[in-house]
Every structure is written in C-alpha cells, then in structure tokens.
Amino acid sequence: MELYRRVAGLNFDKIQDFSNRAWASLSSKRKYSKGEEGIIDFVNWSPANARLLIFLRGPAHGDADDKPWFTDWSVYFNLQTQKFEYTAYLERWNSQVFKLALNAEYDELTSPAPASAESLTDTVSKDEWERRQTDADRALNEVYHKVLTKLSPADAARLRSDEVAWIKKRDKVTDEFAKQGTPPIPALRRLQATVDLTNARAVELKAQLNESETQ
C-alpha cells in the first residue's frame, strides 16, 4: 500500500517507505514471524486530516495455510510528524487482536474495531457534528430503502436483520470511542464515531445497490 500527499493541483509527493514503516510499527509492539506481513486497509481520516487510521492484517503464525489471520490491528499515521503512532484508545484495542484470531467467533468479536481517527485538537463544533449526523442519517436511509426495493422478500428480511446488527455494532464502537478517544469531550467523540460509521454503512449499501442494478 502506498500513500501520496497532494502538494498542489495534480502534483503529489509519495510518503516514503509507507508499508514497511507501518509493519515496523506493529513489530515495535509485538514481534511477529517473517511472512506475517499481509494487507493494509485505509480506514478513516481524523476531522482535520492530521491522522490516518489504518488496519494491518495477516497470518497470525506465518503457517502454510495463512490461518488464522489477525485483522484490525490499528495504528495512526500522523501527517504532521510523518510518523506512525499509537494512543491509549488504540492500545486498548490492539492488546486483544491476536488473541481474538484464535476464537471461532472472531468476526463478531472484532466488530467493535476502531472506525474513527482521533483528532489532535477539537476542530469541529457540536453543532457542525450534529449537522453532519443529520446528513449522514438521511443519506443512509435513502440508500437503504432503495436497496430494499431491489430485493426479494427473503433478501429484504436479511437486510433488515443486518441493519439491526449494524446498529448494535455502531453503538458498541461509539461507546468505546466516547470513553477512550480524544479530544477530551465525550459528546463530540460520540458524534464523530456515529457520523463515520453511518457514512461507511451508506458506502456499503451503495455498492450493493450498484451491484443489483448491473445484474
């Protein structure tokens, strides 16, 4: 995975050695076997784009079948310092990632993985977060109902069930981010996480809608 920073117009600077340094940040916390380097997922930007949240995933033991895999090891790339960094919020999550890889209910257990990047400072007001939440909710509801109209009764029932499960996941993630993240105002952290998760869910459903329209 590579990361580029726009300088001006269509001119971009490449962040040097991004992938290797990302994996080195994991090694600084937990020594891993050669061959465990896997995939880097870009998750989210902080509100002022000062931090990028990424996930690392790969085989937990470097075995021939690449199983079990760890996923959602979380680290920030700080655009101001050009360094990878951890916070108390990420440390709390990462402490259990490799243990969860051995559990049969791994997908369920990892569902509360971080979804938002912590701000370095408060950059968005409560009123603005509430406006963004209203917009995000409206966009999600719109695409959700569009998808429903394209589905068979059985598939529509499954989507409704998935939506209930997503709401439970959203609440878990927002509760944890409100307790653990920065900046120091829980109400703002809760709003940020809600907006980020709602926007991500809308993107998932839009992809499902586009797929159904091309079939």
pLDDT of residue 64: 60
Phi and psi angles of residue 51, each rounded to the nearest 5 degrees, phi first: -130, 145
Kindly report, residue by residue over 116-143, the tens digit of the pLDDT: 999 988 889 999 999 999 999 999 999 9
pLDDT of residue 69: 82
pLDDT of residue 182: 86
Q: Which two tokens stand for residue 32?
A: 């891993």
pLDDT of residue 128: 96
pLDDT of residue 76: 98
Residues of the chain with pLDDT below 50 are none
Q: Let me know: does 52 contact 117? Beta carbons within 8 Å.
A: yes
Q: What is the DSSP letter of 56?
A: E
pLDDT of residue 80: 92
Q: How far apart are CA 32 and CA 75, in angstroms?
A: 16
Q: What is the DSSP letter of 84?
A: E
Question: How much of the chain is helix, strand and coil, in % rounded to 5?
Answer: 50, 20, 35
pTM of this prediction? 0.90
Query: What's the half-sphere exposure (Cβ side, CA atoms, 13 Å) at 149?
Result: 7
pLDDT of residue 159: 95
